[in-house]
């Protein structure tokens, strides 16, 4: 008699985990506004025009680093709004606070934290912004689920991804999860980067 029992193996988890952290020296180089502008892939005030503005909103920037986008984001959002800048390094957050003192715009709080385990309540943020940080997180899939948890329904998720770090092989399952959890509103791709805007239904 044939044994019809089958053994099922769980589907393999896609291998998207990070193995990359921008080395400090390289980070200083790529943080030069002139260099980033010349390379044609970053112009903060221009790039941030895709971020919607609503009075009284809370925007969380995950992976602020040296603040390449934070200053422009603070100005773009304007007064009466809250911006939370988050990065794992407490010293980077202190330096950023010092740097942005006196820059007009949104109220900023500086949080040392992990994008894979955001220190926010469910549905708390109106906007989430990731400037070349998702690809450096140890578990980008967990980070996307966290983004979905903390973003309020109707809220906006804006991601800039750096192609050389987030290669197609690692990126594809992450973008598939983004497309599954959120509604894609806009996307564009340049030679070095990809920019995506989503909305949570």
If one asks whether residue 137 binds ligand SAM (CB under 6 A), the answer comes out as: yes
Of these, 51, 133, 171, 198, which contacts ligand SAM (CB under 6 A)?
133
Query: In 83-95, which positions are buried (b, 16+ CB within 10 angstroms) versus exposed (e)?
Result: bbbbbbeeebbee
d(CA 28, CA 35): 11
Q: Does residue number 140 form part of the binding site for ligand SAM (CB under 6 A)?
A: no
Find the part of the chain contacting ligand SAM (CB under 6 A) among 49-57, 96-104, 108-116, 191-199: 108-116
- Degrees to nearest 5, angle at CA 179 with 173 and 182: 130
Q: CB–CB of 162/20 below 8 Å?
A: no
Task: Give the interface size with ligand SAM as a residue count (CB under 6 A).
Answer: 21
Cβ at position 37, least distance to ligand SAM in Å: 13
Residue number, 22 or 127, with CB nearest to ligand SAM: 22
- Picking from 122, 161, 150, the residue whose alpha carbon sits closest to that of residue 16 is 161
Segment interacting with ligand SAM, rule: CB under 6 A, options 76-84, 114-122, 150-158, 175-183: 114-122
Residue whose token pair is 């193995």: 19
Instruction: Note whether 132 binds ligand SAM by CB under 6 A.
Output: yes
């Amino acid at each position: 008699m044939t044994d019809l029992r089958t053994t099922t193996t769980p589907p393999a988890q896609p291998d998207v985990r990070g193995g990359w952290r921008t080395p400090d020296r390289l980070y200083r180089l790529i943080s030069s506004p002139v260099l980033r502008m010349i390379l044609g892939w970053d112009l903060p005030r221009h790039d941030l025009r895709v971020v919607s503005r609503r009075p009284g909103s809370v925007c969380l920037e995950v992976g602020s680093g040296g603040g390449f986008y934070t200053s422009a984001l603070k100005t773009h959002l304007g007064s009466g709004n809250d911006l939370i800048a988050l990065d794992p390094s407490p010293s980077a957050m202190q330096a950023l606070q010092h740097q942005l003192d006196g820059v007009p715009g949104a109220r900023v709080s500086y949080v040392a934290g992990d994008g894979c385990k955001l220190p926010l309540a469910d549905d708390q943020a109106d906007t989430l912004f990731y400037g070349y940080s998702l690809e450096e997180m140890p578990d980008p899939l967990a980070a996307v689920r966290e983004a979905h948890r903390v973003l309020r329904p109707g809220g906006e998720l804006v991601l800039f991804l750096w192609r050389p770090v987030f290669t197609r092989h690692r990126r594809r399952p992450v973008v598939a999860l983004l497309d599954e959890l959120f509604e894609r509103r806009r996307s564009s791709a340049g030679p070095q980067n990809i920019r995506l805007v989503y909305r949570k239904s």
